[in-house]
Structure 1
Amino acid sequence: MSESEIYESIKQVIAHAPRNQYTLELHLQMIKYADELKNVTAKEFCEGVELRQSFGTEFSKMRNLTQRLKAAGLDTSKI
């Protein structure tokens, strides 16, 4: 999946998330695609998904968290 396809997928998922689940779904998507987006900056991610730049910090956190979760056995393809 290309970077632009990933961004489109994330935009669609969060657009259809219930209002009180928006941030949760965004975090899950960040974890799901962390490996594919490992060379993307937080700023590039926010621009690609059309988010406020403040979500860049969340992107960085989730990317770091993903490595620990995978070390503990998480299969991100199941998200």
Structure 2
Amino acid sequence: MTESNIYQNIREALAEAPRNQYTVEMHLQMIKYADALKTVTSKEFCEGVGLKPSFGTEFSKMRNLTQRLKSAGLDTDLL
């Protein structure tokens, strides 16, 4: 899957998320694709998805959290 496909998938998931679940969905998508976006900067991520640059911090946090979750047994392929 290409980077642009990932961004498109994330945009679609966010568009379909209920208003009160938007942030939860955004975090879930960041975790889901963290490995595929290892080399992407937070700025590039936000531009690719169409998020405000301030969400770059959330992307960095979720990418770091993903490693901890995977160490505890999370299979991101099941998300």
Q: TM-score range by the shorter chain?
A: over 0.9
Instruction: Return the offset for 1:13.
Output: 0.3
Instruction: Return the offset for 1:55.
Output: 0.4
Q: Distance in 1 between matches of 2:74 and 2:41?
A: 23
Deviations 1:59-79 (A, max 9, x none): 000000000000000000111
Q: Distance in 2 between matches of 1:20 and 1:56?
A: 20
The one-letter code sitting in structure 2 at the alignment partner of 1:16 is E
Q: What is the TM-score when the length of structure 2 is the normalising length?
A: 0.99
User: In structure 1, what is the equivalent of residue 29 of structure 2?
Assistant: 29
Could you tell me the percent identity over the aligned residues?
73
The one-letter code sitting in structure 2 at the alignment partner of 1:18 is P
Q: Which runs of 5+ in 2 are unaligned?
A: none
**Alignment RMSD (CA, Å):** 0.3
Aligned residues: 79
Q: What SS does structure 1 have at the residue aligned with 2:74? A: coil
Q: What is the TM-score when the length of structure 1 is the normalising length?
A: 0.99
